[in-house]
Chains A and B, each alone.
Chain A
Amino acid sequence: MSFPLAFNAELFIQLLVSGITLGSLYGLIALGYSMVYGILKLLNFAHGDVYMIGAFVGYGTLQLLGGPLSPNIAIAPLIVLMFLAAMLASGLLGVVIERFAYRPLRDAPRIAPLISALGVSFFLQNSALLLFGAQFRSYDSFVLGSKNPEFFEPGPLTDPLFVVKNVNIQLVQVIVVATTASLMVALTLLVAKARIGKAMRATSYDREAAAMMGIDTDRVIATTFFIGSLLAGAAGVMFGLLFSQVFHFMGFLAGLKGFTAAVVGGIGSIPGAMLGGLLVGLAESFAAGYLGGRWSDLTVFGILIFVLLVRPTGLLGTRAIQKV
């Protein structure tokens, strides 16, 4: 490895840590894309905006419980509540979107649900703009639980949990990675063991045959949307906790990157989504660190196009056979 000037271990570790945190966020978004694509062969463009709504619901919950400066309850249950509210709201939103924008188009030409998805995405973005305004809303997560928030004394979320080579690894970063990992394990178990997981796999393998075997495919698809959107909602709150600022347009780019992660990892594969998320997060982080922030998005897009051209099935995906 050759780095510009001298190899700076501190910078490298810093970028590595932020890349992993960012990557777990993208991995969660990627899962939603991946699951929906696996089951419906539909690119859910609105997924990024579900994530945005999740972030806003988390913000709303925080405000409802007293705001970051003077929360009414202890910080740990507060964060848990924010996650739960955002996940539930996003999940329901996902189900509603599926019910009204995609289900009527189940048998339409392939292009119709894509355009519908584009419309939903645009609708959600601008509804958020109408409801919440164009300004950034801040979680102010760094003062959460602080003893002197009015003096902007950092709270426990930014406490360094470990210190590696002078780089602080903050509690919030650990929370993000740990939550992602546990959600991922739960999802893997659900898909592998539970009855609904089995039904999901059957539906994604062959929807018609699954329906003939007595599986209520509509319910399975709705569940898939619920779970996928729920994960996006969790990712939204994580973004708020990590970067503090949420705004109406945040879903678009995050959605694109989440999709990149899903494709890079192999669409339809759960570990693939995680792996893809980490790769995209690391790529973005290192590109921002070594090439400059303006190139980070272009790097991610470049990776996607490269992967699609070289290995369209992604790293862990299986090649789909086109049936006639």
Chain B
Amino acid sequence: MEAGGDRQGIGVDDWVASHEHRLAERAGFAGLARKIDDRVPAWARLTLFAAFAASLPLWMGRGDLFAYGIFTLIYILLGLGLNVVVGYAGLLDLGYVALFGFGAYFYALLSSEQYGIHWPSAISIPVVVASTALLGLILGIPSRRLLGDYLAIVTLFFGQAFVVFVNAANPTVAGVGLTGGPNGIADIDPNDIFGYELISRTQQYYFILVVVLLVLTGLHFLSESRTGRAWRALREDPLAAEAMSMPVNRLKLKAFAFGAGIAGLAGCIFAAVLTAVTSGNFGLPILITIYAVVILGGIGSLTGVVIGAIVINVSFQFLAPENPQQNARVLFYLVIVLLLAFGVRPWWRLGVVLGGVAALGFAAHAVAGAISSSWTAGPVVEGGRLAGVISDWVIIPAGHERFANAAYITLVVLILTLTRVHGWWRTGLLVPTLYLTAVVWETSFVEQPAVARWILFGALLVFLMTVRPQGLLGTPRVEIV
């Protein structure tokens, strides 16, 4: 699949090989995306995004604006902060969510009835951002001594310790539990602009949009600055950077503080928009989501973070339990067909696969129905436009927990096998895999969309790392030995 492994054969010049590799890198859908990303100047991309984002409230309902608009913006903000630490400086910070949580809780303490403090945003946000940055700095101190993996584990522990602290420890300060324990803190004031409270969703949306645009612009200049370039040098090779007399430790701390500051800002907004914070909001799932955002778009790329956040949040909201599931179903089949269209070449092979899947489905359904009618008696969850086709095509047995579990495990095994075979074997195996994917979707994922999305995110991380670790728009990194 990737030419990376054996590109440098005997007698091939290093430069020529890397040039050819770069050319090969430009092929296909991802190559096209990168080409566009390179050609369009940054200000044009920003304007395009701003114009699109600004038009959102005009054609979107209020609930959708909250779920799709505001949350995407918060994910963008979180992704941008993580991008500074992981993308620019190459430090694996797994405690990032705790900084986000700290920001949210601190803002909540400064603007709720918990202690009866109601500071205006103009004061509380800068205070929260500064103290989160300071906390990030402190968290970053171990990074002076610890190499990659140890840093990851210390930060992961910090993240976990934060959740335990907030949830279980809940120390009593001035007669009140500081963090509210499992109940969290409720009734948080909305953000305000010099006294003008942002209550409606549209106002909040535009406020966050402005913040995001400002942060994006700032980070663009930062990444081109002396510090930004130094961070990238640090990421590529800390030893070489040190040998070039770069202040490695100071750079690391700066990256931590910067990322933390943005996380704190996101925390303020998050707390104000949700009007309540609980420890459940700052656990492992959100960490995975933010990592997925940053990695999908491409580590180190601002456009990548924006695209990643949009893709992740939209699919996330589609899979939200309260959402009508037929939306998720349509999206799911659409994504699979699109993936096939981009991934299976030549076109007639695609035809064979799709035809095979359809035929296999009807045949399997007919056979299962002939053996026992209860095998196909299960209802299609939530109906919708596709329900008619699905009930004739996918085997959904009546009481199907065992069947669903077996199908899920078989599917995982099939997908893993699929990565090991090539040529016609792969095409042939693709047919039952795709059918089984549909079966698993209809029997277990549709019923537990919240679990399904986490499974898909976890698999996405592994898949991206093994196939395209640089993400959509990131630059591939070459490990020099």
CB-based contact B466/A109 at 8 Å = no
Asked if A298 meets B465 with Cβ closer than 8 Å, knowing A119-B459, A308-B142, the reply is: no
Instruction: Annotate A97-134 by CB proximity to B: 1 below 8 A, 0 otherwise.
Output: 00011001101111111111011111111110111000
Give the number of residues in B that approach A within 8 Å (Cβ atoms).
53
Cα–Cα distance between A111 and B461 once the two chains are bound (Å):
12
| B153 CB contacts on chain A under 8 angstroms | 43, 259, 263, 304
Q: Which of B129-137, B158-166, B217-225 contacts A (4 or more CB under 8 A)?
A: B158-166
| B295 CB contacts on chain A under 8 angstroms | 115
Instruction: Annotate A77-113 by CB proximity to B: 1 below 8 A, 0 otherwise.
Output: 0000000000000000000100011001101111111
| A126 CB contacts on chain B under 8 angstroms | 451, 454-455, 458
CB-based contact B465/A119 at 8 Å = yes
Which residue in B149, B164, B457 is a CB contact (below 8 Å) of A122?
Answer: B457
Which residue in B164, B451, B459, B469 is a CB contact (below 8 Å) of A130?
Answer: B451
Which residue in B157, B291, B405, B469 is a CB contact (below 8 Å) of A256?
Answer: B157
CB-based contact B461/A294 at 8 Å = no
Cα–Cα distance between A120 and B239 once the two chains are bound (Å):
30
CB-based contact A130/B455 at 8 Å = yes
Cα–Cα distance between A125 and B409 once the two chains are bound (Å):
14
Asked if A101 meets B462 with Cβ closer than 8 Å, knowing A114-B92, A122-B288, A305-B157, the reply is: yes
| B86 CB contacts on chain A under 8 angstroms | 111
**A41 part of interface (Cβ distance < 8 Å):** yes
Considering the complex, give the chain B residue whose CB is closest to the CB of A113.
Answer: B465
**B169 part of interface (Cβ distance < 8 Å):** yes
Cα–Cα distance between A71 and B466 once the two chains are bound (Å):
44
Considering the complex, give the chain B residue whose CB is closest to the CB of A116.
Answer: B465
**A212 part of interface (Cβ distance < 8 Å):** no
Nearest chain A CB to B452 CB, angstrom units:
7
Cα–Cα distance between A127 and B445 once the two chains are bound (Å):
11
Nearest chain B CB to A61 CB, angstrom units:
16
Asked if A301 meets B469 with Cβ closer than 8 Å, knowing A110-B149, A122-B288, A308-B146, the reply is: no
Asked if A104 meets B164 with Cβ closer than 8 Å, knowing A118-B461, A305-B142, A312-B150, the reply is: no
**B448 part of interface (Cβ distance < 8 Å):** yes
Instruction: Annotate B441-481 by CB proximity to A: 1 below 8 A, 0 otherwise.
Output: 00010001001101101111110011001000000010101
| A308 CB contacts on chain B under 8 angstroms | 142, 146, 150, 154
Which residue in A108, A130, A252 is a CB contact (below 8 Å) of B465?
Answer: A108
CB-based contact B466/A129 at 8 Å = no
Most buried by B among A100, A107, A111: A111
**A324 part of interface (Cβ distance < 8 Å):** yes
Instruction: Annotate A1-41 by CB proximity to B: 1 below 8 A, 0 otherwise.
Output: 00000000000000000000000000000000000010001
* Residues of B bordering A, CB below 8 Å: 86, 90, 92, 94, 142, 145-150, 152-154, 156-158, 160-161, 164-165, 168-169, 239, 284-285, 288, 291, 295, 405, 408-409, 412, 416, 419, 444, 448, 451-452, 454-455, 457-462, 465-466, 469, 477, 479, 481
Leading 10 A-B pairs by shortest Cβ distance: A119-B461, A123-B458, A122-B458, A116-B465, A119-B462, A294-B168, A126-B454, A104-B466, A126-B455, A43-B149
**Known pairs A119-B461, A297-B168 / 10 extra A-B pairs, C-beta < 8 Å:** A104-B466, A115-B465, A118-B461, A119-B458, A119-B460, A121-B458, A123-B458, A124-B458, A263-B150, A312-B145
Q: List 14 A-B contacts (CB under 8 A).
A: A41-B149, A109-B479, A111-B90, A119-B458, A119-B459, A122-B457, A122-B458, A123-B459, A123-B462, A124-B458, A131-B409, A259-B153, A294-B164, A301-B160
